[in-house]
Amino acid sequence: MTQTNSTMPLFYKKPEPLDSSKHKTLALKKSFGLDFTRKINAVPVTMIEMPQICHSYPIAFSQDANATPVAILGLRDNENLFIDEKGNWEPLCYIPSYIRRYPFIFSENPQNDQLVLCVDTDKSVIEEGGDQRFFEEDGTASALSKNALEFCKSYHAAAHQTTAFGQALDKAGLLVERSAEIMAPNGKKINFSGFRIIDEAKLMELDDATFMEFRKNGWLPFIYAHLFSGSQWQKLTALLAQHLEKSAA
């Protein structure tokens, strides 16, 4: 999977806490769309959206101890197969919440557990004096900022649940490294690696106490969603074929 700068969250370049005095006249660009995802082949997903994710994308897990679930968007580095040349997402495919959250994000103060709403202030995202402003004339938060705050609250809660889920899978030894060798329509082989999946044999051999703990925590449906998502590797291969045909035309 594509390696990204670990010092900054994926997609974010210049996140700043929203401030009514500093950002009063700033606005989200009208032309802001999904083009920022064009060069990403995997994106984090939350546990609760995995039953929706599994119908469109393969789900894999990161190699660290958090075992973060990710939706696989492409088979080659710097290529998202779900966005076309006009910036439109593949029809009828659920768009992961990590993408829909951008350009907003929470900053967490570890000293007091306070969450602060931030926005990416990169010039590709914001503009001066636009219609989609972050604050009203009186300095109060706009509807855009209020909706972003509620969305980030929901995302933050789901992300914490997801961390517990991924760590439990890792601790139980259910995750195994996998690589995929895919034959592209042009005859070239594509090696896709750097991800983990749940080993079905290990899941079947899971001790009763751990299985009951997973069931008690409500994690079983999300484990099965991951397993069902394996059928979407064929979809990725088909989308790659379409992209190669267009580029060759």
Q: Does residue 115 sit within a domain?
A: yes
As for how many domains the chain has, the answer is: 1
Cα 142 to Cα 89: distance, rounded to the nearest angstrom: 27
pLDDT value of residue 3: 45
Q: Does residue 7 sit within a domain?
A: no
Mean pLDDT of all residues in the chain?
A: 92
pTM: 0.91
For 215-239, how does the pLDDT look when each residue is reduced to its tens digit (9 = 90+)?
A: 999 999 999 999 999 999 999 989 9
pLDDT value of residue 52: 97
pLDDT value of residue 245: 82
Query: Is the peptide bond preceding residue 17 cis, with omega within 30 degrees of 0?
Result: no
For 22-73, how does the pLDDT look when each residue is reduced to its tens digit (9 = 90+)?
A: 999 999 998 889 999 999 999 999 999 999 999 999 999 999 999 999 999 9
DSSP symbol at 64: S
Encoded amino acid at 202, one letter: K
Q: Which domain holds residue 63?
A: 15-248
The separation between CA 87 and the C-alpha centre of its own chain, rounded to angstroms, equals 17
Residue in this structure with the two tokens 């929706």, named with its chain if needed: 52
Q: Does residue 89 sit within a domain?
A: yes
Q: Are 133 and 101 in contact (CB under 8 A)?
A: no
When pLDDT is averaged across residues 193-213 and rounded to a whole number, the result is: 95
- Strand 42-44, strand 26-28: pairing: unpaired
Q: Does residue 9 sit within a domain?
A: no
SS3 168: helix
Residues present in the chain in total:
249
pLDDT value of residue 193: 85
DSSP string over the chain: -----TTS-TT-SSEEE--TTTSTTEEE-TT--SGGGTT-SEEE--GGGHHHHTTTS-EEE-SSTT--EEEE--SSTT--TTB-TTSPBPTTPPPPHHHHHTTEEEEEETTTTEEEEEEE--TTTEEET-SEESB-TTSPBPHHHHHHHHHHHHHHHHHHHHHHHHHHHHHTT-EEEEEEEEE-TTS-EEEEEEEEEE-HHHHHT--HHHHHHHHHTT-HHHHHHHHHGGGGHHHHHHHHHHHHHHHH-
166, pLDDT greater than 80:
yes
249, pLDDT greater than 90:
no
Token pair listed for 66: 């958090």
5, pLDDT greater than 50:
no
Q: Does residue 204 sit within a domain?
A: yes
Q: Does residue 6 sit within a domain?
A: no
For 135-145, how does the pLDDT look when each residue is reduced to its tens digit (9 = 90+)?
A: 999 999 999 99
Cα 214 to Cα 187: distance, rounded to the nearest angstrom: 43
Rg (CA), the chain: 20
> 191 - beta bridge partners?
181
SS3 46: coil
Q: Does residue 118 sit within a domain?
A: yes
174, pLDDT greater than 50:
yes
Q: Does residue 3 sit within a domain?
A: no
pLDDT value of residue 123: 92
